Chain A
Amino acid sequence: MNQNELKNQIRRLRFEKGEMTQQQLADLVGVTRQTIIAMEQGKYAPSLPLAFRIARAFCVPLESVFQYEPESPAPTHNSLL
């Protein structure tokens, strides 16, 4: 998967969550600060368990943190029939 297709709101959510630092979030979800930095810059696509841990840390659904925006839209079930 192209990492540019996966957008995230981690930075915004951190600031909304009382100016949470990257280190505090990293400690909460069990990764290093460098990983949080890479994710915020869109240079690293996290694994599914980590994505869920981040969403849980912000107490929001997964879709509020990560958005999948493909360059070409994926075919729907109806278009395949």
Chain B
Amino acid sequence: MNRWQKIAWFNLIVTTICFIACFILSMAMQFKRVATPPTPLSLVIIPSLILIALSKLIFRKKSKQLDFDERDRQIHKKSQYVGLWAFAISTVLAMTVEIMICFFAVGPRGALPYPLVLLLTICAGGGVWIAAESISILIQYGRGDNDESK
């Protein structure tokens, strides 16, 4: 497993844990009737974003050996497209789900605070972007990486 695969696994795991924690936290807040969800949610989201931003430092290049070539560049370029598309689709989906939740839970005249909607949409989109990019990287590397012969 090369450095980029390790980073992709790390980002995927952090994103998945972040999604699960946000879901559990949202459910808990719903049952406990806590009125300010963005604050506890940010306690999960912000550390996750910091971890993802630091992933390249955590998995540092060990030796002076080359670890990025034309194939890596091609894989990363394709994965960025996949991530961007996933972000666009998930943002639209997240908006739709939020509007539906607002309509069915609060009623046709109900309203959600817009900072909360914006935060949830961007976080969901960003999380899906990172997860989709990581999965795409892992799949593309997985295709030609199972030969251990020297």
Binding site for B on A (CB under 8 A): 21-23, 26-27, 30-32, 34-35, 37-38, 40-41, 43-44, 46-47, 50
* Contact call A32/B150, Cβ cutoff below 8 A: no
* Contact call B69/A43, Cβ cutoff below 8 A: no
* Contact call A34/B66, Cβ cutoff below 8 A: no
* Contact call B66/A43, Cβ cutoff below 8 A: no
* Contact call B147/A32, Cβ cutoff below 8 A: no
User: Could you list 15 A-B pairs, sorted by A, with CB under 8 Å?
Assistant: A23-B150, A31-B70, A32-B69, A32-B72, A34-B2, A34-B71, A34-B141, A34-B144, A34-B145, A35-B70, A35-B71, A37-B145, A46-B70, A47-B70, A50-B70
Interface size in chain B (residues, C-beta < 8 A): 15
Chain B stretch 48-77: residues in CB contact (< 8 A) with chain A: 66-72
In whole angstroms, how far apart are the Cα atoms of A27 and B67 in the complex? 11
* Contact call A31/B147, Cβ cutoff below 8 A: no
Contacts of A30 in B (CB 8 A): 66, 69
* Contact call A31/B150, Cβ cutoff below 8 A: no
* Contact call B145/A38, Cβ cutoff below 8 A: yes
Closest B residue, CB atoms, query A23 = B150
Contacts of A23 in B (CB 8 A): 150
Contact with B67, one of A32, A37, A38, A50 (Cβ below 8 angstroms):
A32
* Contact call A31/B66, Cβ cutoff below 8 A: yes
B8 → A minimal CB distance (Å): 14
